[in-house]
Amino acid sequence: MLLYLCAQRCVPIKMIEFTVDADSAGMRLDKFLRKKLERVPVSHLFKMIRTKRVRVNAQRAYPHQALQAGDAIVVRGTEEQLLGPPAPRNRAPAVDVSGLKVLMEDGWMMAVDKPSGLAVHAGSGIAGPTLVDQVRAYLGVHAIRNDFVASPAHRLDRDTSGVVLVAKRRPAMVRFTALFTQGRVGKRYIALAKGKMPRLRGIIDVPLSEHQQTAASKALHGVKMQPAITRYRVLSQTKDASFLECQIETGRTHQIRRHLAAVGHPVAGDRRYGDFSFNREAKARWGLRRLFLHAQQIEFPHPEHGANVCVSAELPAELKDVMKRAGLKSDA
């Protein structure tokens, strides 16, 4: 028994070192280590930090501290304990990327044209591959860079088609997040709305209830309203429908759909906020079988050099066909 204890005590404890690269700058220490030491249980990882077995630049480390490029992280432990092979994972089925339309791509980002019906992210009720799956399958081994996996920088409703920006590096995602938060990304949508608009140009300034508010929060604080502003311009119209260009100054969930419904001109094909009778008529007369909302253009400062970038996605053929049958000019 004594020999066993001696053998255990005499095992040399090694130092595993990591240097924080530019792509990981700004990441929290606990998240950085969870990626680097994926075999270590999270509870044990926090214990290692708490018991000073993790040091950053030779100083005591804290789980939530933000890392800087060049930081030296030292972890006390054996390579077998900390860097052993992770548990085997089930191999994901192959994803068909033949339908992925890439509008632009460079080393920092890419922009893709998402079709209607394709979800951006996985979630409840989502079956089959998502846009995330397609993008990562398209990028292959280049989908991961310095532990960051390429991801969309914003969301687009499942039934809405159009431009989606994807960050390929962590600094690009950090920059995009700041740009969207600061309202420095210009987004232009194309929509077909019920009826004839009262003016050729207009502003819809109607506060919208917070979409993610829980029932418990509503019971405790009441419904939280958020300011929301949508600008629209009529491109073509008849007595039955209006072809609109819409720009949003705020990014509320389903904002254009909720705003147009609020002023009595819901988006054609909208099964949630729309007019059932109008949708049925649009399907029968014009062959509309989807939500008529398309993210046509997005303009933003490039996350690397800040130069202005404008990316556009052409109106899908099925929506052009609807326009033709409805007697509207799709090239307005």
**Where would I find the beta strands (DSSP E) of the chain?**
15-19, 54-56, 59-60, 72-76, 101-105, 109-114, 144-145, 148-149, 151-152, 161-167, 186-194, 201-205, 208-209, 225-226, 229-237, 241-248, 293-301, 308-312
Are 188 and 248 spatial neighbours (Cβ–Cβ below 8 Å)? no
For residue 306, give both structure tokens.
């800040």
- SS3 string, 123-186, reads CCCCCCCCHHHHHHHHHHHHHEECCEECEECCCCCCCCEEEEEEECCHHHHHHHHHHHHCCCCE
User: Is residue 331 among the annotated active site residues?
Assistant: no
Residues 6+ away with beta carbon under 8 Å from 280: none
Tokens found for residue 106: 């460079």
Q: How many whole angstroms separate alpha carbon 211 and alpha carbon 217?
A: 12
Distance separating alpha carbons of residues 265 and 236, to the nearest angstrom: 15
| Degrees to nearest 5, angle at CA 78 with 77 and 79 | 120
Q: Identify each DSSP E strand in 195-284 by its residue range.
A: 201-205, 208-209, 225-226, 229-237, 241-248
- d(CA 236, CA 243) in angstroms, rounded, equals 5
Catalytic-labelled residue, pool 23, 71, 133, 157:
157
Catalytic residues: 157
